[in-house]
Amino acid sequence: MKAKCRLEGRQLERRQSHFTACLLVFLGSIAIYRTVVADEGMIPMSELGKLNLIERGIELTADELFNPNAVSLVDGVCRVNGCTGSFVSNQGLIITNHHCAYGAIQKASTTEHDYLLNGFKAVGLTDEIPAPDYTVRVTEDYRDVSEDVLSAIHPQMSFLDRTRAIEKRSKELEAAAERKHSGLRAEVAEMFAGKTYVLFLYTYLKDIRLSFAPPQSVGNFGGEHDNWMWPRHTGDFSFMRAYTAPDGSSATYAAENVPYQPKRFIQVAPQGVDENDTVFLLGYPGKTARHKTASFLTYEQNVRLPMIVDLYGWLIDVMTKAGNQERAVEIQHASRIRSLANVEKRYRGQLTGLRKANIVQTRTDQESQLKAFIDSDPARKGKYGQIFSELDAAYAEVSRETRYEILLDQLRTACRAAAFGFFIYDAAVERLKLDIDREANYMDRNWELSVRQLKTSMGDYHAPTDKIMLAGILERLQREEPALQNKVLNQLIDSPAQIAERSSQWIDQTRLGELAFVESCLTKSPDELTKLDDPILNRVIDLYPTYLKMRETEKEREGRFSHLYASLIEIKQQFLETSFIPDANATLRLTSGRVRGYSPEDAVTKTPITTLTGVIEKTTGVDPFITPLEVIAKYRAKEFGPFRHPKLGDVPVAILYDTDTTGGNSGSPVFNRRGELVGVNFDRCYEATINDFAWDPGYSRSIGVDIRYVLWITGIVYEAEDLLIEMGVTKQ
Amino acid sequence: MKAKCRLEGRQLERRQSHFTACLLVFLGSIAIYRTVVADEGMIPMSELGKLNLIERGIELTADELFNPNAVSLVDGVCRVNGCTGSFVSNQGLIITNHHCAYGAIQKASTTEHDYLLNGFKAVGLTDEIPAPDYTVRVTEDYRDVSEDVLSAIHPQMSFLDRTRAIEKRSKELEAAAERKHSGLRAEVAEMFAGKTYVLFLYTYLKDIRLSFAPPQSVGNFGGEHDNWMWPRHTGDFSFMRAYTAPDGSSATYAAENVPYQPKRFIQVAPQGVDENDTVFLLGYPGKTARHKTASFLTYEQNVRLPMIVDLYGWLIDVMTKAGNQERAVEIQHASRIRSLANVEKRYRGQLTGLRKANIVQTRTDQESQLKAFIDSDPARKGKYGQIFSELDAAYAEVSRETRYEILLDQLRTACRAAAFGFFIYDAAVERLKLDIDREANYMDRNWELSVRQLKTSMGDYHAPTDKIMLAGILERLQREEPALQNKVLNQLIDSPAQIAERSSQWIDQTRLGELAFVESCLTKSPDELTKLDDPILNRVIDLYPTYLKMRETEKEREGRFSHLYASLIEIKQQFLETSFIPDANATLRLTSGRVRGYSPEDAVTKTPITTLTGVIEKTTGVDPFITPLEVIAKYRAKEFGPFRHPKLGDVPVAILYDTDTTGGNSGSPVFNRRGELVGVNFDRCYEATINDFAWDPGYSRSIGVDIRYVLWITGIVYEAEDLLIEMGVTKQ
């Protein structure tokens, strides 16, 4: 129930569910509840000391992994927009996924210099291409601020006030920390809803440049067809570089800037790993729902996921058709399509997985055990007896409103002109307030980044697409009862026959697709904006009270869920007699496991290392299964250099391992037991799309590009030897 | 280029090509040509003595396998219509595939007693249901008659006369053999085209009854979805029983008939086999094209297969829609749909396989080697120098005519009324001739069987379907130039707008759908048939000269190809310095191998034994993945009896092995090294659909139902204990 009013995120998460665990249904394996909870894990830094690292096969101590008072492995890991990255040299060189660098490659590409198509190799530092929409975040420190945050609320508060109070206190703590630690950025993260809050301190680097990207036929080999799938043959990596001002401080792009010197960089291990070897990952997993109720899962399964799958399918279709007309439009829409397609396929996988593995039933059974535990003691029953009925009632309410709310949200998201208009007007209203009282996006500390994201997102504005989007969403709203009852909205949809024509006229007349116009609007007051009389901006202004109400409803719900889940976590910990790991929340986590295949169905085994021969076998010459001639030539000549897997006699391309990841782990370093880089995480197998809801050692598998493929493509195929030297790797 | 004028065969072959052997393209593994030819093998009985059976892991001697002078294993194997079967008791009990008994089960089924849906279990012999459309053929003897057959031709003959002469001499030999061996049936089979001919002697049994069939949700579990696929979970078996007159002679159904006593029956081995165990099969593989030219493969790949895939897709669609309206029609069309769908999917697999494995290129490369060998010696060049250019020219001609000819053939196949009409008129014309001069179908020795097949095929006549079929084929012909130039045909298609209406009127008025009418026609002369003035019969009579010409063209081509391929085989044997196995031709063959998985693609391994747990995992409750409640109950109760696989702890369902099979091997017994029954062959994996064109040890795999699943379903789930006792198997 997170606020959806931000500009559409550029983060590309990637995941995957095929899968045959319906055995669970028949064998009723609900008894393993405790074990599973104990085995899974996206472990926060604060919990590292509690782990038996030796038993996990990790040869580093907790202090060598993370130590706020000294240099540790974590200092080599960073966040690259919504993804994770690793510093792989003392000159700020970062390795992350091709799909994470995609926005930068796309923005640098023109029909003349098509780096998406042909790849990019910088000849020396000066040749590197600035990626102004990128920031790199390095975790510097953290501390628990739960007590401080929770002191701002009291039991008599309404749920809306509760959320507001927590937000405000968090902002105050962030502001205070930033004053104290000049140049760093502070962010409060909720670990357990309504219960645990941690203040993180970050360095934000703002001058990021593109160093090397393989052609997308390598970096996105298999495309949407193979996305969320194993076996995988995608070279999903790129190199970027972070720069600072000459004095080492964070700065936006300037010619005189110098490469950033990380406190620590990750050593590349060109020998890679083999089946059954220990691996571990550090990264910023975004969001999981392992502690949510069966009623939440039911809502997801029956209401939200099917609707998004349907809606996104349509959005993708509209943009794909527009792109088919013209390569320039295709490039414009590429990133948005890829982002939506990724979510759409993940949700389809989740729907299949939820149904086949019968996860709702499993969770219901778990809740029955917990309910029995609650009811077995009168005091417990008095305190916790109503949690489930209250949560169920809340989800029932959400379910009723969701279709309307999602469409209302898409009205100012799918239609880009409306998105820009909403940002402008919302900013104008919010920036009249005291800084601390504003929505986070419009606070001074975030304003520069928000404006940059706005400008970036204007890059894919295409009026003909926008007309179809606007009309299509309005037509869908026409079928929702609450929309018809909203007087302002009703005026837009009361003549179904005219929706398309009106939408077309408004988009023809709006100036919200013009960058100069939008920039001039950013300094105007709400009244001045109204006087501009722009047809799309006017519609947004008319609907603004509706959106404000939706924002309040969301905050009210957040307060309610926060309160209820805090109680649920409390009693669950008592019941399980153990502490457990909070759901992912985009903070730094460690997860460990082994390089390991799995059996997706009876009589089928998937082994955990794919090969270059597999790339060649999949190559049809038709997108997305094209392989560059340079790759084929080096393959035929068997020029594998030192990157040949000794047993397979072939260059390994991708590896599979049973760590616990989710979206946001894209680009995470895959470490061997000594903490050296052996791969870059980029996806999960299809069965593991439901990781977000439940984790299973049988099929929860993540996918990384093998470091040997990275080095072979970079150093041998495209001869970027200087990058290999910079990472301390030789080709011999 | 076999004559296609017979009534549509009921034989259901089943096969499969997914597959990633495009490595071949890159690695150019054409050098293994000789090895591959030596490794593959559907070995005729005449060659058994040359095999090293011990090396193959078979513990029987060649004489124990086949001995025309004594009882041998082969005497336990029979042909059941187009399939293979095994006698598994001394009371004529036969095990074959569910899809081979399908016609019998379908015919016995009504909406009241739906044995397709619910399965069938006879309570004692008297309860068994006659299957009048079935014959069982037992091989009694064979001898080489090549010299005798080839003495009928001389080099000056036209190709047409050549074919006719071979046909006539074969018939004479058959007639002489049948006079000599009263009660047996003689058939001359061409082993190598134009080169080797063998006379086989068979016992034909005509009173065949259905003993046991599982529900089709077991016997066809996975349906078309899983057809040609591994892993497989289909219980594709049924039991039938052969009867004779009380004196032991072959006879059609009569109440007083008694179970047939085979000379030998196959001992069932309830312990089954395990991975890597030796298995061998005996059966009647129908047709392969391993010795055909690259130009033939090109014709298949570019012309014939794509056209059939398209055409059959449409036929299936028409019948499926008709069946959706009414369960009775669905049952009527079920067998024909299944037969067409099976071919359609096989051809799709072959198209994929031909393209991906680049088989045309491989064969072209092989031919280059052979051509170089021919050209290297002037005498050889003089004798064989023109073979390839002549074959290529012949296929070029066939390619030009094929679309027209296939449609012309479908005109009297897809439209059932026309099929019946053609049979009637063709029979009337042919039966005026001397017996020896008639087309084989109409000779006295075949007449009874042909009439029976005609009557059977009338069972699925459904006028509304026939109207669509007739009009659809005519519309397609409308787009073929040769059809427009055929004056008679042109009259039927010259007014495109009227085709549908006319077709509908003719089908409304024809009496060819009425059994009594058709039976009365069978004794009429051509003139009398003309006077009946039946609208469909009239069209057939008008087109009869066209069909006669097509028949002549086919015989002419057969003569030409027979002549050319005889030369090709001759020089190929000289080049390879070895004799090799003739293409399959529906005569008895042995093939051996091991229970063995395979890797269909990089990082994916398929293991060779599936389990009951896999059935349960695949079960969705939606057709074709329904599992009977009885099966689920016994699974949950773990009532596996002695049929549990010791290592898997589960009932094995299907097994995979690397023997060399094709259509016609359906129902083939799968033997262990001692010649005991461990499975019943029913399919190939998808990659192996191209077995017909090329065999490869990497992916050519066949699929059988495991004897343990047969016995578990029969004895434990459906409690047909008497059948187990009859086979000498106990449930304990």
DSSP state, residue B583: P
pLDDT in tens, A645-676: 999 999 999 999 999 998 889 999 999 999 99
Q: Which residues of B touch A607 (CB under 8 A)?
A: 603-605
pLDDT digits (tens, 9 = 90+) for A278-304: 999 999 898 898 889 999 999 999 999
What is the rounded average pLDDT of the residues A611-629? 95
Let me know the angle formed at the C-alpha of B618 by B601 and B672, rounded to the nearest 5 degrees: 70
CB of B233 within 8 Å of a chain A CB? The answer is yes
3-state DSSP: chain B helix, strand, coil percent, rounded to 5? 50, 15, 35
Query: What value does the mean pLDDT of chain A take?
Result: 90
| CB atoms B635 and A26 under 8 Å | yes
B352/A contact by beta carbon, under 8 A: no
Answer whether B606 sits within 8 Å of A605, measured CB to CB: yes
Q: How many residues appear in chain B?
A: 732
- Check residue A16 and give its pLDDT: 28
Q: Which helix (H) or strand (E) holds B242?
A: strand B238-244
Question: What pLDDT score was predicted for residue B40?
Answer: 64
Nearest to B617 among A601, A619, A632 (CB): A601
Can you spell out the DSSP letters for B357-382? TTHHHHHHHHHHHHHHHHHTSHHHHH
B603–A614 CB contact, under 8 Å: yes
> For residue A233, which residues of chain B lie inside 8 Å, CB to CB?
602
Q: A518-554: per-residue pLDDT in tens? A: 999 999 999 999 999 999 999 999 999 999 999 999 9
Instruction: Note the pTM of the prediction, 2 decimals.
Output: 0.81
Residue showing tokens 């039927």: B492
- In degrees rounded to 5, what are phi and psi of residue B290? -80, -15
Tokens standing for B607?
Answer: 């293991």
Residue with tokens 């030539």: A633
Give φ, ψ of A392 to 5 degrees: -60, -40
pLDDT attached to residue B106: 87
- Contacts of A721-727 with C-beta under 8 Å, sequence gap 24+, read A722/A124, A723/A93, A723/A211, A723/A212, A723/A239, A726/A88, A726/A89, A726/A91, A726/A93, A727/A88, A727/A89, A727/A93, A727/A268
B446 near A CB under 8 A: no
Quick check: helix, strand or coil at residue A680? strand
Give per-residue pLDDT as tens, A544-580.
Answer: 999 999 999 999 999 999 899 999 999 998 998 877 7
What domains lie within chain B, and their CATH numbers? 43-135+206-289+583-726 (2.40.10.120), 294-573 (no CATH)
Closest CA–CA distance from residue B626 to any residue of chain A (Å): 14
Interface membership of A603 toward B (CB under 8 Å) = yes
Decide which of A23 and B540 is more confident.
Answer: B540
- What is residue A182's predicted lDDT score, i.e. its pLDDT? 87
Q: How far apart are CA B728 and CA B90, in angstroms?
A: 11
Q: Which of B20, B609, B636 sits opposite A603 (nearest CB)?
A: B609
Cα A454 from Cα A451, distance rounded (Å) = 5
Which range is least confidently modeled, A236-240, A620-624, B374-378? A620-624
User: What is the rounded CA–CA span in Å between residue A75 and residue A86?
Assistant: 9
Contact A604 B231 (CB under 8 A): yes
Phi/psi at B301 (5° precision): -65, -40
Given a cut of 90, whether residue A194 has pLDDT beyond it is no
Conformational region of residue A401, where left means phi above 0, alpha means psi within -120 to 50, and beta covers everything else? alpha
Cβ-based contacts of B231 with chain A (< 8 Å) = 601-604
B-chain CB neighbours of A20 within 8 Å are 617-618
B22 touching A (Cβ < 8 Å): yes
Beta pairing, strands B604-606 & A604-606: antiparallel
| Helices and strands, number each (H, E), in chain B | 28, 21
Report chain B (732 residues): mean pLDDT per 10 consecutive residues: 30 29 28 35 89 94 92 95 94 97 90 92 96 92 93 93 95 95 91 88 95 97 94 98 96 96 97 97 91 95 96 96 90 88 92 86 94 96 96 96 96 96 97 94 92 90 96 95 92 91 96 96 97 97 97 94 92 85 87 95 96 95 95 96 95 96 92 98 92 87 97 97 96 73
Query: Cβ of B26 and A635 within 8 Å?
Result: yes
Query: Across the beta sheet with A604-606, what order do the strands follow?
Result: A598-601, A604-606, B604-606, B598-601
Distance, CA of B148 to CA of B165 (rounded, Å): 12
* CB < 8 Å to B632, chain A: 26
Locate the chain B residue with the closest alpha carbon to A24: B617
Which residues on adjacent β-strands are paired with residue A209? A130, A241
DSSP reduced 3-state for B722: helix
Query: Do the Cβ atoms of A603 and B616 come within 8 Å?
Result: no
The reported pLDDT for the residue numbered B20 is: 29
Question: Of the given ranges (A339-348, A354-363, B714-723), which has the lowest mean pLDDT?
Answer: A354-363
| Residues in A touching B611 (Cβ below 8 Å) | 602-603
B518, B524 in Cβ contact below 8 A? no
pLDDT digits (tens, 9 = 90+) for A677-714: 999 999 999 988 888 888 888 889 999 999 999 999 99
CA dist A695 and A700 (Å) reads: 6
Read off the pLDDT band of A492 (50, 70, 90): very high
ipTM of the complex: 0.78
| A618/B231 CB distance under 8 A | no
Q: Phi and psi at residue A331, in whole multiples of 5°?
A: -65, -45
Higher-confidence position of A331 and A135 = A135
CA torsion angle B217 B219 B220 B226 (round to 10): 110
pLDDT tens for each residue of A458-489: 988 999 999 999 999 999 999 999 999 999 99
Residue whose token pair is 């003139």: B527
Check CB contact under 8 Å for A605 and B601: no
> Per DSSP, which regions of B602-676 are E strands?
604-606, 609-611, 652-657, 669-671
> What is the phi/psi pair of residue B637, to 5°?
-80, 0
Higher per-residue pLDDT: A418 or A32: A418
d(CA A291, CA A208): 37
Q: Assess whether pLDDT exceeds 50 at residue A21.
A: no
Residue B177 neighbours by CB distance under 10 Å: 20
- Please indicate whether, in this complex, the C-beta atoms of A603 and B606 are within 8 angstroms of each other: yes
Portion 172-231 of A in contact with B at CB < 8 A:
230-231
Instruction: Pick A496 or A632 by higher pLDDT.
Output: A632
Test A616 with B233 for CB contact under 8 angstroms: no
Across A325-339, A620-634, B62-76, B556-570, least confident range? A325-339
**What average pLDDT does this structure show over A614-641?**
95
Are A540 and A425 a contacting pair, CB within 8 Å? yes
**Residue B692: per-residue pLDDT:** 87
Cα angle: B404, vertex B410, B412; to 5 degrees: 120
Contacts of A488 (CB under 8 A, 6+ apart): A542, A543, A545, A546
- A352 contacts chain B (CB < 8 A): no
H helices of A258-412, in order, are 294-299, 305-325, 327-356, 359-375, 378-384, 387-411
CA distance, residue B299 to nearest chain A CA (Å): 22
B-chain residues within 8 Å CB-CB of A613? Answer: 23, 602
Structure tokens at A526: 């709400």
**Type of residue found at A532:** L
CA geometry: angle B439, B444, B447, nearest 5 deg: 80
